[in-house]
Amino acid sequence: MKVGVPREITPGERRVALVPDALGRLQKAGHEILVETGAGLGSCHHDAAYERAGATVLPVDALYAGAEVVVKVDRPAPAEIDRLRPGQALVGLLQPLLDPGLMERLAARGVTAISLDAIPRTLSRAQSMDVLSSQANIAGYKAVILAAEAFGRFFPLLTTAAGTARPASCLVLGIGVAGLQAIGTARRLGAVVKAYDVRPETKEQAQSIGAQFVTLRTAIDATGAGGYARELTPEERAAQQAELNEVVASVDVVIATAQVPGRRPPVLVTAEAVRAMKPGSVVVDMAASALGGNCEVSQAGQTLVTDNGVTILAPDNLPATLPISASQFYARNMAELLLHLTRDGALHLDMDEEITAAVVITRDGRVVQPAIAALLGAAPGAGPGSQPGAAPSGPAPTAARARRGRSHGVAGG
């Protein structure tokens, strides 16, 4: 099978779907790799490295003409959709729940759309394909690095002849994949770290990597389906907020990562709480998007400094800012999925198999993923080979999670 790796064209995107190191196993399985000239430059993977790894480097027209499967990071832009032809497969972070119309367009073009963010995350055999986790790890790390850069003091305790610097105090809100990585990174930089989540099981996880778990007087257990959180009731929110405001005002740095599948991210850092923070404090809102974020005053994609001197960052597409590591992880996830979906060197989509049923969104000219078909008002899974109801129900997307990993899931866990 010929696998094509085009250059990503979304502004600011520096990742690439396959790196040279990931090609060996695919080639061993009988696949030929085509790479667009310059596709890996944003992540420092030069054409010569792809050629040394056995790939053919060629211009974009030849790539789309030759590839049977096109592998990407971001959703395709209209110009990229125009290049796809019937019978071709497209694999990437397609975010079908965020943009079901795109799936309809791909189906109409006869393209088999396969979405990496629809991997059922709770299946242990799917973990090596879990791109939401691999990219959230990167985002959690980078959020702390950005906070340290914006913070006017040291993170660690430092004793010097010129005086002693006390360590920064850092609060991580949301102890999922990104939050755990943020805790670990802030601890490695020497900060004193507190962490908070509404899922009680996160307490031990946070403590095991050196954070102090914040236990509110109003105990809330908001464990939802599949290891995710549920949305809080208005009463729970009010109780939580009053107590959280005190904690927020007491720390130097807040890293906010809280998400609820299919809902707007919860506001955990109110404007009032920001007003109570000390000058020089920093908030990184990883949940921020056009829908809102964890911080009431953050603006997606922007950095603000409030009247009381608090810096609020709401960075966009954090994984793309660490493109080498992000591409390496992404490529590993991509290669694992491709190997899972192929047999004897060709695409083999067994729709009775759980991972395949979750990730294949369009096939044979139809939207076959039931959740997406339902969103489009079509008969769910009406297409040949579809499995009505077979796709695992999982978190609907939020734009914020998309920003964190430039992606979002149909299924999750």
- Catalytic pick from 21, 83, 127, 325? 127
Name residues whose C-beta falls within 8 Å of residue 226's C-beta, 6 or more positions apart in sequence.
121, 122, 394, 395, 412, 413
Residue 360 DSSP label: B
* Residues in contact with ligand NAD, shown as a per-residue x/- string from 184 to 203 under the rule CB under 6 A: ------------xxxx--x-
**In which element (H, E) is residue 282 found?**
strand 282-285
HSE-CB at 397 with a 13 A cutoff on CA atoms is 28
Within 10 Å of residue 352's Cβ, how many Cβ atoms? Answer: 9
- Strands 158-160 and 163-165: what pairing? antiparallel
- Determine whether 208 is exposed, middle or buried from the number of CB atoms within 10 Å of its CB (0-12, 13-18, 19+): exposed
Q: According to the binding rule CB under 6 A, does residue 338 interact with ligand NAD? A: no
Minimum distance from residue 374 beta carbon to ligand NAD (Å): 22
Site string for ligand NAD, 42-81 (x = CB under 6 A): ----------------------------------------
Q: Is 259 a catalytic residue?
A: no
Whichever of 20 and 266 has its CB closer to ligand NAD, that residue is 266
Task: Select the span of 48-56, 125-133, 209-217, 299-307 touching ligand NAD (CB under 6 A).
Answer: 125-133
Q: State which of residues 121, 142, 340, 403 lies at the interface with ligand NAD (CB under 6 A).
A: 121
Select 88 or 135, whichever has its Cβ closest to ligand NAD: 135
Annotation marks residue 127 as catalytic: yes
How does 229-254 read in b/e, with b if 16+ C-beta sit within 10 Å?
bbebeeebeebbbeebbebbeebbbb
Active-site residue flag, 228 = yes
229 touching ligand NAD, by CB under 6 A: yes
Residues listed for the chain: 413
The sign one gets for the Cα dihedral 158, 148, 15, 94 is: positive
270 touching ligand NAD, by CB under 6 A: no
Binding mask 127-166 for ligand NAD (x = CB under 6 A): x--x-xx--x------------------------------
- Tell me how far CA of residue 173 lies from CA of 139, 159, 176, 194, 255, in angstroms: 14, 29, 9, 9, 6
> Exactly one of 88, 133, 134, 369 is catalytic; which is it?
133
Instruction: Name every residue whose Cβ is closer than 8 Å to that of residue 141 and which is 6 or more positions away in sequence.
Output: 181, 182, 185, 322
Task: Decide if 196 is catalytic.
Answer: no
Closest distance to ligand NAD from the beta carbon of 214 (Å): 10
176 binds ligand NAD (CB under 6 A): yes
In 109-225, which ranges are E strands? Answer: 112-115, 158-160, 163-165, 169-173, 192-196, 212-213
Minimal CB distance to ligand NAD: which residue?
A: 176
Q: Closest approach of Cβ 395 to ligand NAD, in Å?
A: 6
Question: Does the annotation mark 263 as catalytic?
Answer: no
Contact residues for 36 (Cβ-Cβ < 8 A; gap 6+): 4, 5, 6, 7, 57, 58, 59, 60, 63
Does position 167 interact with ligand NAD (CB under 6 A)? The reply is no
Nearest approach in angstroms of CB 105 to ligand NAD is 28
* CA geometry: angle 202, 288, 412, nearest 5 deg: 50
Q: How far is the CB of 45 from ligand NAD (least distance, A)?
A: 27
Closest separation in Å from C-beta 232 to ligand NAD: 5
Binding site residues, ligand NAD, CB under 6 A: 121-122, 127, 130, 132-133, 136, 173-179, 196-199, 202, 227-229, 232, 257-261, 266, 268, 401, 413
Residue numbers annotated as active site: 121, 127, 130, 133, 228
